[in-house]
Amino acid sequence: MKISTTIAFLASALIAQSYAQQKGAYSTEVHPVLQTQTCTNSGCVTQDTKIVLDSNWRWLHQVGNYSPCRSDTGVWNTTVCPDGISCAQNCAYENVDYSASGIRATGGTLNWDLNKRLYLLEDDNTYKLYKLLNQEFTFEIDLSQAGCNVDAGLYFIEMDKTGDRSATNTAGAMYGTGYCDAQCGTGAPFIHGKANLQNKIGTCCAEFDLLEGNSVSTTFTSHPCTKTGLYECTSPLECGEGDNRYKGTCDMDGCGVNPWALNNRTFYGPGSSFILDSTKPYTVVTQFITDDNTATGNLIEIKRFFVQNGKTIGHPDPNWPGLTQPGSSITDSFCDQGKIVFNSVNDHKAKGGLVSMGKALQRGLVLSFTSWTGDLPWLDGSYPGSDPTKPGGSQGSCAPNSPIPTYAPITVSNIRVGDIGSTTATSPPNPPVTLAPTTKAPPTPAPTASSPTTVPTPPPTTSRPTSAPTTTSATSAPTTTRATSAPTSAPTSAPTTAKPSSGAVGAWGQCGGNNYNGPTACVSGYTCHLYSEWYSQCIPQ
């Protein structure tokens, strides 16, 4: 593996000599190493993969000084950004201190705080691409401290492996650029190396949600698209905005499995009364099965089961009349039945179904880790006026009108990919490391707030909020629209929600922002600068 290059203070990046989305030069960045494994029936091989923070969680400043390229309300500085190309030339994403940002990796264990989006790197400059047909993907997760109103997720997206690096984007995967997903959000600051100055261009790509959930609810969801790779949607029709939701490029609703929504309400949750106890870590196994059991066949089934305390636990079957397909797998038949039972538009079928999803899995997808907070009735609660005794009436046990958490660390460990049956056949090389602080939030989740939006009733389509919060614009909040009419925006969250510490904040550390409870004074020579309501940072005076 390549070692992160130390970038000297005020290095050559201060002088932009070509049109380029620049690299920062005021601090150094070392990507945390996360050990992952590739398995066959003869055993597993460990690789030192790495973690990188999404570019939207980084300080975006003018090349050569500390002034932001966008205001805390999302207004671009027209002096340095008169057009998209000039803006890419004149602005730089700064490096990140991962430990100070609440992101920690030890061996095969990753831990992160709330409101982050991370990617897995093959090396310092390239995302790791997973090609999953006729394979299985396994990981262990601890969501014991993520109660209601928290959405923690692992998902695959068809990003470019270089982070869309080009002559106009020299930052690339090293700085976490190139995000896209099936929601086709228009909030990305840069697309293909040009600034998205009007927030009118969206970034679409196929998406498979391995897991979205918390200690109350769990889902996995397929989102195929009609275009390949990162696709720029340039109109409300292409981007699926508003009434064009089912006319766009991707299946925003998706087809997925949520046991609670399928009327199995003792399967998953906090405590020993549930079959799968979310107060304890558990292993998630997902198998991508093709029609000919090869890596070139058509995807026909995505199968899910869990392992906890050495016991294999399968998904229960649906418990609604008319839904007779097994609840352990996403298949086209399951999706077709589910859309009828839940009275939802079958956009999954319209966008090519599992065959289309499988083609993306064959081309290769990037693994992302995320967590965010908000009113999440589409994930773990109910919409006002809905009937929980009917299909689509309830997604989880969370009650309305409870506060949104400010602390909910997530731990993922023992990531493995390999031949079907190979990733659970042997023990991990070392036990998972618990990196969360010893002072834990109560394991029993607080009730969750419901969204005031009116309900259409769509599960089993529990798709993720796609455009996770961007730190540079209040207008680029996550687009959480989905079949269940989830909120169309989530709070724009801080790029770094480091746990509180005593004393003054060091250089480049976070010193303010919503949900931040640490010190607000900076060390000598630095001042606390406000970039948005969610993020203030100590920069040189």
Contact 257, 318 (CB under 8 A): no
Residues 6+ apart with CB under 8 A from 194: 84, 85, 87, 88, 168
DSSP character string of 140-153? EEE-TT--TTEEEE
Write the burial class of residue 156 (CB in 10 Å: 0-12 exposed, 13-18 middle, 19+ buried). Answer: buried
Beta carbons within 10 angstroms of residue 116's beta carbon: 24
DSSP character string of 296-337? TS-EEEEEEEEEETTEEEEPPPP-STT--S-TTEE-HHHHHH
Q: How far apart are CA 89 and CA 240, in angstroms?
A: 31
Write the burial class of residue 141 (CB in 10 Å: 0-12 exposed, 13-18 middle, 19+ buried). Answer: buried
3-state secondary structure of 260: coil
Q: How far apart are CA 136 and CA 138, in angstroms?
A: 7
Sign of the C-alpha dihedral, residues 114, 117, 122, 126? negative
- Among residues 29, 207, 238, 241, the one annotated as catalytic is 207
Structure tokens at 271: 């405590």
| Four-CA torsion 179, 184, 190, 195, nearest 10 degrees | 180
- Among residues 212, 238, 241, 301, the one annotated as catalytic is 212
Active-site annotation holds for 122: no
3-state secondary structure of 462: coil
Question: Rounded to the nearest 10 degrees, what angle do helices 353-363 and 332-341 cross at?
Answer: 130
Closest CA to 528 of 66, 52, 2, 53: 66
Structure tokens at 229: 């790779």
Structure tokens at 96: 């990140």
Residue with tokens 């042997």: 426
What is the total residue count of the chain?
541
- The phi, psi pair for 334, rounded to 5°, reads -60, -45
Closest CA to 462 of 485, 491, 489, 488: 485
Q: How far apart are CA 182 and CA 352, in angstroms?
A: 14
Q: How far apart are CA 227 and CA 72, in angstroms?
A: 33
Residues carrying an active site annotation: 207, 212
